[in-house]
Amino acid sequence: MEVKVVSANERNVTDMTRKKNLQKLIRSPVKRLIDIIVMGEALSRRAT
């Protein structure tokens, strides 16, 4: 019984870490795009 509980907890932890990693992978490119867009707007405003 105890071993089953531990394995279940480990599965939950691995699932959580996978979800977090996926969220990071999804978020990072979006953040980079937003940063690039914001920087581009700032540069264009300075130029004009």
pLDDT tens string 3-46: 666 677 788 888 888 889 888 888 888 889 999 999 999 888 88
Q: What is the pTM of this model?
A: 0.42
Question: What is the rounded CA–CA span in Å between residue 7 and residue 23?
Answer: 24
What is the reported pLDDT for 11? Answer: 81
What is the reported pLDDT for 5? Answer: 65
Question: What is the rounded CA–CA span in Å between residue 48 and residue 19?
Answer: 43
Q: What does the domain layout of the chain look like in residue ranges? A: 1-48
What is the reported pLDDT for 40? Answer: 92
Question: What is the rounded CA–CA span in Å between residue 12 and residue 28?
Answer: 24
Q: How far is CA 38 from CA 3, 23, 41, 42, 45, in A?
A: 51, 22, 5, 6, 11
Rg (CA), the chain: 21
What is the reported pLDDT for 6? Answer: 61
